[in-house]
Structure 1
Amino acid sequence: MASHLSTFGKILLRRRKLDLSSVETQFARCLSTLDLIALGVGSTLGAGVYVLAGEVAREKAGPAIVLCFLIAALSSMLAGLCYAEFGARVPKTGSAYLYSYVTVGEIWAFITGWNLILSYVIGTASVARAWSSTFDNLVEQKISGFFKASMAMTVPGKVLAEYPDLFALILVLLLTGLLAFGVSESALVNKIFTGINLVVLGFVIISGFVKGDTNNWHLTENNYREFINSTNGSRELKLKEQYGTGGFAPFGLSGVLSGAATCFYAFVGFDCIATTSEEAKNPMRSIPIGIVASLLICFFAYFGVSAALTMMMPYYQLNTQSPLPEAFSFVGWGPARYIVAVGSLCALSTSLLGSMFPMPRVIYAMAEDGLLFRFLSKMSARTKTPVLATIVSGIIAALMAFLFDLAALVDLMSIGTLLAYSLVAICVLILRYQPGTLNSPSQLEKLMEESEKMPVSGGESGDEYDMEMDQRPLKETFSFKLLFCPSGKIPTVLSGNIVYATTAVISILMTVLCVILANCLPELLAGYSGVVVPCVILVVLCAVCVIIIWRQPESKEALTFKVPLLPWLPLFSVFVNIYLMMQLDLGTWCRFTVWMALATKAATSHSHANTSSPWRTMPQFTRVPPTVTWKQAAALDADWHRPGGALQNFHTHVWPCGYRQMLQCRRLGTLPWV
């Protein structure tokens, strides 16, 4: 029984092996760097820029909303840098799912992919309904009025929407057809709508600085009282609670931090770029550039719009539902609301496309690995797209947009995204301290060249082989000294395992710390010892873990992009993501627990039943015994080149890594037994 459990546990934690020696793919490599930037900007810079700025400025930060977006952008950039390194390291489709698979194992990969699919489906359905609602507002609620009168749905529990949203259904199905038709056509449509959106936002920013008044950034309590007296609104007792204390940051530091936590979600969406690894012309270069550039563009857009908005109109008079049209009316430019409406619809269109684009690619990657139904990995020979995954996911999202009230499920999307961000940061941290976990094609080429120069015949070859075996470092044994004083400057299996274990420990410590901060922050600021002491202990333990990781030897693998300041930046990104997850309410966590239980059940079922993936059937490496000489190994290499030879057939039918991997095995003194 124990052996069965041990074997099953190893199956759940097995990691995917990647073949990076070839750039061949079933997808069409047609996306340029500009296409990826447009995809990231379109997905990230959604309708939130037209609504979120007014809500945060009015209720949380005032004019200091520009600082909220700055803090949120810096936090998002940390996650973006981690995605950028993986884009340079693993040019394969699958995004955070694949990154988790090659680093922390199958169970975490399945959970990540499971949550990503949920996030994309909910995101697609909710954006489609928002598009329908925005268009309905332009025609004075005639569409919703008709459906409420003729097709109202009244079900206890508010599970279903008030009426079936036929407009949202048609919109999702149309974009599903566009995505199935081809990635080039989808990228072209996305660039057009993204361009229109940026032009409209540019108009808003310029208008704000032309018609704005910098005095709106220096309001006082007298301004609040004048507004209250003119509207006969709030009582004097609630003056500070509703309007703050005046100045640039009327709600203080707590308001800025609270607003930054809300603004963080405005930068969600750039991760869709990571799913284009097999469709980008030069993924190792264009994916890092696309992620960083799209986040910078989005930051400048959010910063400019929020600055213009708070200068055009006093923040306490902003309309939280439609701040920009209200602001233009305030400065006497009422007709500009139609320009804003066009930009809002274009932003929603690109956001919808950005939610739908990565969804079938994650499904395809999981299906190809056998973690979802195999038929979902079917590719169209003509369009080079995962056509069945696109159609199935599009239909599910369309039905959800058509029938369901998604308000209670939107926060689930946030958990899934933040979990993916955290795992990617952890994976970057772990891989940078592993002994050659993944090899870039350039390194394999160098290895092949070096191996070709080695003599493969005669007695001297055997002597050289024995010499290489003698020069290998002996197997290390663990000691506490190695935690802070590792034995060398090159990563070993032991140093890699130390980083694995320490990362797991610090993740648990940060989770406990974030739970305390999220629920006991007032007590912590008040200095209650029952809260301060545990926090201090947790911070000290986290610092010790960081130092242990920092002291371990780092891989020197050459990549086109690397996250700087390891291990500090990835760990800080994990901390921010966990803290934001802890801000969500109990109901969201209950729904997430149910969804995770389903994920765990599905993962264990698939792992137990499915072992047919090509990389799973690879033979295990075996250390060449002393009886096998280098001359015999050379004979095996010679048989490789013989037409119809055993190793050539082995390469064709079983061994996915090919000749380069065999050369590496020869160099390391390992050969697969056949």
Structure 2
Amino acid sequence: MLHQYVRQFSQKLVHRRPLEVGAESESPEAHLNTLDLVALGVGRTLGAGVYILVGAVAKVRAGPATVICFLMAGLSCVLSGLCYAEFGARVPGSSSAYLYSYITMGQLCAFITGWNLILSLVIGTACIAQGWSSALDSLTGNHISQGLQGTLSLHVPYFLPTYADFVALGLVLLLTGVLVLGARESTLVNKVFTVINILVLSFIILSGFIKGDLHNWELTEQDYKLNASGSTDIYSLERLDPLGSGGFMPFGFEGILHGAATCFYAFLGFDSIAMRGEEALNPQHSIPFSIMISLFICFLAYFGVSAALTLMVPYYQIQPKSPLPQAFLHVGWGPARYVVAVGTLCALTSSLLGTMFTMPRLIYAMAKDGLLFQGLAWIYDCTGTPVMAIMASGNIAGVMALLFEFMDLVDLVSVGTLLAYSLVIFSMLVLRYQPYQILSKKEKTEDKIEMKSEIEGSPLDSGPEAGTSNILKSLWFPPSTIPTRKSGQIVYGCASLIVLLLTILSLLLAQWSSQVFSGDPGLTTVAVLLLLLITGVTVIIWRQPQDPTYLYFKVPALPVLPLVSIFVNIYLMMQMTSGTWALFGIWAAIGSVIYFGYGIRHSLEENNEQQPPASTSQTLDKNILGAGSS
């Protein structure tokens, strides 16, 4: 009896959601071409990362080597983007990584993915709002921040900022109210803001190379002392040590790795392309190409801006809150800082609107499926908007913008998003080796009957699938050229084992890299054994048959490329501080209580088979959060 209960509970955790056959006829009208999707991705991505984050990373984590940080973070995002692109080509009807995971991997994986994406969206909103506030403060000559710091200072080192950012809070609450009233997203407005953004960034990059000085990439401690002797900069110290050791890599390779983990935040937004798959004219073609093109454009922008900034200003003189306007002031181009500040406001407004439009979509979808509280799926009839989802996400984001430091928020959102992306990559890898498993409602019913039969002790498998005596032989010589249930289970188990081994290897390299590479007998032996095990299990996966279904785009070099992507993501997560992990642990604990205390018992997939939950686009009125364009 206990065995049956445990089996049923486990099946709830991996219970997959069916792909509704009639969904296509009810989806929004397709109207987005590749250019629209690229503009959407670039508009979502080029926000606080390029105007605020680049200065903070250069100042305290990487110096001029920030360009390498963005290169590493960009490569990691490209690997994740390829996996998103295959999902977009395989399941264009699903609107987010949450639904990808639910359709392919099951309920628990879907909740973890969705919960972490909510974290990234809410905190991303807070970060962008803080960036917008800093840009406005720069236009006013820093009078806003000085006034707030003088009257409402609440600085607690390593916990609270120097002052409560009521401008950021007011902005988030204002836009939350606008969304509640039924505002619609406009592709035309997004294109206009994106064009302004790219023009301003082009001006910054060209100006940086014109006014830049290569000596700023070769600074020494003597340069710092000469500057500090006549400077009133609040960061002026007697020695350079707290701000690195000078040169191109003042914080060493460790600083680059930490900076790359933080810079991952700057590339968030490309997944919004996949979330609009139902509105794309040719999703199998346009989604993968749009993701790759937008990531390439964003990388060029980040690389160029970080190079321009560190060439114009010595890294230790960068002002983290408003790096670019202050850089133009530093080189004597005072009026240009106003152009940059206005461009910053336009870019951040576009990015903020896009993020706030996306947040309630995801919360609504999870609440509609019963994984979050049903009240969050309530629709206000007059405006056709999920009011509770909008207000809940907006209020939480506003409080975080008010009370937390920008860099603390960035690190936290990077951890959550890296984990969510890793789950998507894992899902894509396992899915490629499964028999066709995106079930229709009818197939889902048959699958449940088969599961019930297995629970009662009479499995329906026959033929090669029934026996287990040849399982070792099946690892190297699969009996079939197409995926079977047994081969799919082998890949699932092997992929899970590899993720565990990669996590151990990443922890080993992150904590004791110098001992490993210096030849410490014990640690080096452990690292070599882990690499051998990972290689052997990877070969087992490679030997299994893949799903032959034709897709316009497929991730190349399976299983190596997805596993490399997972390793990079895990390794970047290991670079985060213990404080960041503590905050993430609190968020994960809250999610666990919600899922095991509420979601697993109220899931519509489990308790309401007669009325399975529709996808976001099926149930959500086209007016909700602007499905249309203008």
- Using structure 2 for the length normalisation, give the TM-score: 0.82
% identity of equivalent residues = 52
1:534 equivalent among 512, 522, 526: 526
Q: Which residue of 1 aligns with 2:560?
A: 568
Q: Distance in 2 between matches of 1:551 and 1:102?
A: 25
Per-residue CA distance 1:66-120 (angstroms, 9 max, x = gap): 3332232111100111111111112234412112212222112112212221221
Matched-pair contact (CA < 8 Å) for 2:52–2:131: no
1:225 equivalent among 222, 238, 242: 222
Q: Distance in 2 between matches of 1:588 and 1:567?
A: 31
Q: Distance in 2 between matches of 1:608 and 1:323?
A: 46
- Using structure 1 for the length normalisation, give the TM-score: 0.77
Distance change in 2, residues 1:395/1:484 (3 Å)? same
Q: CA RMSD in A?
A: 3.7
Q: Which residue of 2 aligns with 1:554?
A: 546
Q: Distance in 2 between matches of 1:172 and 1:199?
A: 26
Matched-pair contact (CA < 8 Å) for 1:25–1:278: no
Aligned residues: 590
Distance change in 2, residues 1:273/1:614 (3 Å)? farther
Q: Distance in 1 between matches of 2:464 and 2:301?
A: 54
Q: Distance in 2 between matches of 1:328 and 1:656?
A: 52
Deviation at 1:145, TM superposition (A): 5.1
Distance change in 2, residues 1:305/1:570 (3 Å)? same
Deviation at 1:563, TM superposition (A): 1.0
Whether 1:72 aligns to 2:63 is: no
Q: Which residue of 1 aligns with 2:102?
A: 101
Higher relative contact order (CA 8 A, sep 6+): 2
Q: Distance in 2 between matches of 1:220 and 1:398?
A: 40
Q: Which residue of 1 aligns with 2:415?
A: 415
Q: Which residue of 2 aligns with 1:127?
A: 128
Matched-pair contact (CA < 8 Å) for 2:478–2:544: yes
Deviation at 1:567, TM superposition (A): 0.8
SS at match of 1:23: helix
Q: Which residue of 2 aligns with 1:242?
A: 244
Q: Which residue of 1 aligns with 2:7?
A: 6
Q: Which residue of 2 aligns with 1:325?
A: 325
SS at match of 2:244: helix
Whether 1:436 aligns to 2:415 is: no
Distance change in 2, residues 1:27/1:163 (3 Å)? farther
With 417-426 and 33-42 compared, the bigger mean Cα shift is at 33-42
Instruction: Kindly report which structure 2 residues correspond to 1:570-589, keeping only aligned pairs within 5 A, or say none.
Output: 570-589=562-581
Q: Distance in 2 between matches of 1:260 and 1:351?
A: 21
Q: Which residue of 1 aligns with 2:625?
A: none
Per-residue CA distance 1:204-225 (angstroms, 9 max, x = gap): 11222333455655x475xx53
Q: Which residue of 1 aligns with 2:233?
A: none
Per-residue CA distance 1:641-668 (angstroms, 9 max, x = gap): xxxxxxxxxxxx89999xxxxxxxxxxx
With 556-565 and 598-607 compared, the bigger mean Cα shift is at 598-607
Q: Distance in 2 between matches of 1:239 and 1:526?
A: 25
With 176-185 and 490-499 compared, the bigger mean Cα shift is at 176-185
Deviation at 1:485, TM superposition (A): 1.6
Q: Which residue of 2 aligns with 1:487?
A: 479
Instruction: Kindly report which structure 2 residues correspond to 1:444-455, keeping only aligned pairs within 5 A, or say none.
Output: none
Matched-pair contact (CA < 8 Å) for 2:131–2:321: no
Per-residue CA distance 1:218-271 (angstroms, 9 max, x = gap): x475xx535534644999986898344x5x656665555454334333212222
Matched-pair contact (CA < 8 Å) for 2:80–2:565: yes
Q: Distance in 2 between matches of 1:526 and 1:237?
A: 30
Per-residue CA distance 1:349-371 (angstroms, 9 max, x = gap): 23322322321121122122221
Distance change in 2, residues 1:132/1:306 (3 Å)? closer
Q: Distance in 2 between matches of 1:158 and 1:75?
A: 28
Q: Which residue of 2 aligns with 1:606?
A: 598
Distance change in 2, residues 1:554/1:173 (3 Å)? same
Distance change in 2, residues 1:366/1:319 (3 Å)? closer
Matched-pair contact (CA < 8 Å) for 1:12–1:604: no
Deviation at 1:549, TM superposition (A): 0.8
Per-residue CA distance 1:124-174 (angstroms, 9 max, x = gap): 123223322331233234444555666x48699997777664433332234
Deviation at 1:405, TM superposition (A): 6.4
Q: Which residue of 2 aligns with 1:460?
A: none
Deviation at 1:58, TM superposition (A): 5.2
Give the counterpart letter for 1:490 in structure 2.
I
Q: Which residue of 2 aligns with 1:664?
A: none
Matched-pair contact (CA < 8 Å) for 2:166–2:402: yes
Deviation at 1:277, TM superposition (A): 2.9
SS at match of 1:390: helix
Instruction: Kindly report which structure 2 residues correspond to 1:645-664, keeping only aligned pairs within 5 A, or say none.
Output: none
Matched-pair contact (CA < 8 Å) for 1:615–1:656: no
SS at match of 1:24: helix
With 528-537 and 431-440 compared, the bigger mean Cα shift is at 431-440
**Structure 1: unaligned runs, 5 residues or longer:** 445-468, 619-652, 658-674
Q: Distance in 2 between matches of 1:122 and 1:586?
A: 18
Q: Which residue of 2 aligns with 1:86?
A: 87
Q: Distance in 2 between matches of 1:262 and 1:604?
A: 31
Q: Which residue of 2 aligns with 1:37?
A: 38
Q: Distance in 1 between matches of 2:366 and 2:431?
A: 21
Q: Distance in 2 between matches of 1:207 and 1:32?
A: 33
Q: Distance in 2 between matches of 1:354 and 1:655?
A: 25
Matched-pair contact (CA < 8 Å) for 1:190–1:353: no
**Structure 2: unaligned runs, 5 residues or longer:** 231-235, 444-459, 616-630
Distance change in 2, residues 1:571/1:365 (3 Å)? same
Q: Which residue of 2 aligns with 1:113?
A: 114
Q: Which residue of 2 aligns with 1:139?
A: 140
Distance change in 2, residues 1:616/1:508 (3 Å)? farther
Q: Distance in 1 between matches of 2:466 and 2:435?
A: 14
With 371-380 and 113-122 compared, the bigger mean Cα shift is at 371-380
Q: Distance in 2 between matches of 1:518 and 1:409?
A: 22
SS at match of 1:15: coil
Matched-pair contact (CA < 8 Å) for 2:48–2:266: no
Deviation at 1:184, TM superposition (A): 5.5
Deviation at 1:177, TM superposition (A): 4.8
Q: Which residue of 1 aligns with 2:274?
A: 274
Q: Distance in 2 between matches of 1:495 and 1:334?
A: 65
Deviation at 1:400, TM superposition (A): 4.3
Deviation at 1:320, TM superposition (A): 4.7
Whether 1:343 aligns to 2:343 is: yes
Give the counterpart letter for 1:6 in structure 2.
R
Whether 1:390 aligns to 2:382 is: no
Whether 1:591 aligns to 2:593 is: no
Q: Distance in 2 between matches of 1:515 and 1:276?
A: 36
With 412-421 and 89-98 compared, the bigger mean Cα shift is at 89-98
Matched-pair contact (CA < 8 Å) for 1:16–1:615: no
Matched-pair contact (CA < 8 Å) for 1:94–1:361: no
Instruction: Kindly report which structure 2 residues correspond to 1:242-261, keeping only aligned pairs within 5 A, or say none.
Output: 242-244=244-246, 246=247, 256-261=256-261
Q: Distance in 1 between matches of 2:125 and 2:501?
A: 34
Matched-pair contact (CA < 8 Å) for 2:67–2:307: yes
Q: Which residue of 1 aligns with 2:535?
A: 543
Matched-pair contact (CA < 8 Å) for 1:68–1:256: yes
SS at match of 1:18: coil
With 581-590 and 235-244 compared, the bigger mean Cα shift is at 235-244
Whether 1:46 aligns to 2:38 is: no
Q: Which residue of 2 aligns with 1:19?
A: 20
SS at match of 2:558: coil
SS at match of 1:571: helix
Deviation at 1:556, TM superposition (A): 1.2
Q: Which residue of 1 aligns with 2:453?
A: none
Q: Which residue of 2 aligns with 1:516?
A: 508
Q: Which residue of 2 aligns with 1:294?
A: 294
Q: Distance in 2 between matches of 1:213 and 1:153?
A: 37
